[in-house]
Amino acid sequence: MSNIVLATIGSLGDMHPKIALALELKRRGHHATIAAMEFYRPKIEALGIGFAPMAPHLDPDDQELARDLMDARKGSEKILREIIMPNLRAMYDDLSAAVDGADLLITGEIAYAVKSVVERSGVKWVSTSLQPGTFFSAYDPFLPPMAPWFRHLRFLGPGFYRNFYRAIRWTARNWYEPYKAFRRELGLDDGHDPIFSGKYSSLLHLALFSKVLGSPQPDWPRNTVQPGFCFYDGHTEVPEKQPALESFLDSGEPPIVFTLGSAAVMDARDFFDESVKAAKQLSRRAILLYGLFSDPPTGLNDDILGLQYAPYSHVFPRAACVVHQGGVGTTGQTLKAGVPQIIVPFAHDQPDNAARCERLGVARMIGRYKYTSSASAAAIKQVLADPRYVENAAKAGEAVRLEGGTDDACDAIENVL
């Protein structure tokens, strides 16, 4: 038995893959601990997984912060410059305590203290990526959230995108000053780059997303293994725990499902009210998963069910179409379900994930500020009327379900051990 720490920062889309890994590693006889924000403690400990606090600790009820973080232009910069960088020392101290006596550390994106912890403690390290865009590949370029029109420039090729990423690094050069000072304080090399080239482990990097969404590229790290998505969403005893949902799913044609995941939903604005109107315009049954921090949308009736939460793995395969924000967790579950998608991206990786699904022929994209009942109804009508969307989605779903996912990822982790 090995002692394994999994560290992650972010929403449930970031947390659930680590839970999937932790549960499987535990099943294989290892001791797994998840290091994360304090508000995840009850969820993690209820699953029988160890928990260690790791800064930063955000307030999930802070609606103003949620709106700022979901801003396409400034959201990513705010996370890095105002949340991650000021908490580097606290993150380092927490993570150092968590890995004391551990055999392996597995980390996600933006846990920028990790390299320093690894260098000072000597613990073995496995890094992970949850979406293809964060590789910043010149051969399969990332779509910047502040410039969605960049999706029309893919034809310019690797040379253009190498220079584009150099320009991004130059623009972000001032972001590194707190990181450099933190490294110098520890007596470590301050030239390390945690955002682009220095975030990969030399032992193993796991690409925890399907080849359907992004295939291996020549400029990925050579030690990358791509097992596919690692799924977890708490899908247990749904019929007993949510009888209204089960009754609704059994009582008519497959519904349209509207959701904004676990982060964008905190800045939903009129998304759900417009979605109710869209369902009525189409005369279609619908399920709206409106989140824990919002009131039920107006206009619900016998054909339009509103719920705070339901496991995607249970609902999506029984849907006609899923309308969502494009977070990689939600995107992965929709791909696995094999149903068409309408994606309304907010920020971060969401526009890139949406563009990839458009290229696959499984989705249509609607801009966040162009989402209206009429736009939604028109897009849903198009993807359901065109058999190519349904066929492409079914093929993508079959491919995702055939990948090894969590099992293959844990095999690779055990090879490192």
Question: Which positions ≥6 away from 153 have C-beta within 8 Å?
Answer: 160
pLDDT above 60 for 297: yes
Question: Which positions ≥6 away from 155 have C-beta within 8 Å?
Answer: none
The pLDDT assigned to 318 comes to 97
Please tell me whether residue 51 adopts helix, strand or coil conformation: strand
pLDDT above 90 for 414: yes
Are 209 and 17 in contact by the 8 Å Cβ rule? The answer is no
Distance CA(60)–CA(70), nearest Å, equals 14
Burial class (CB in 10 A: 0-12, 13-18, 19+), 149: exposed
What are 218's two structure tokens?
A: 């020549």
pLDDT above 80 for 237: no
Work out the angle between the directed axes of helices 373-385 and 271-282 (0-180°, nearest 10): 50
pLDDT above 60 for 286: yes
pLDDT above 60 for 236: no
The pLDDT assigned to 64 comes to 82
Mean pLDDT of all residues in 279-293 = 95
pLDDT above 90 for 71: no
**Tens-digit pLDDT profile for residues 22-57:** 999 999 999 999 999 999 999 999 999 999 999 999
The pLDDT assigned to 367 comes to 94
Alpha carbon 126 to chain centroid, angstroms: 18
The pLDDT assigned to 239 comes to 56
The pLDDT assigned to 235 comes to 63
The pLDDT assigned to 292 comes to 82
The rounded percent of the chain whose pLDDT value lies above 90 is 86
Mean pLDDT of all residues in 61-74 = 81
Q: Which domains does the chain have, with CATH numbers?
A: 3-231+404-416 (3.40.50.2000), 238-402 (3.40.50.2000)
Name the more confident of 340 and 61: 340
Average pLDDT, the chain: 94
**Tens-digit pLDDT profile for residues 336-391:** 999 999 999 999 999 999 999 999 999 999 999 999 999 999 999 999 999 999 99
Q: Is the dihedral of CA 366, 369, 372, 374 positive or negative?
A: negative
The verdict on pTM exceeding 0.75 is yes
The pLDDT assigned to 193 comes to 94
User: Per-residue confidence at 238, pLDDT binned at 50, 70, 90?
Assistant: low
pLDDT above 80 for 293: no
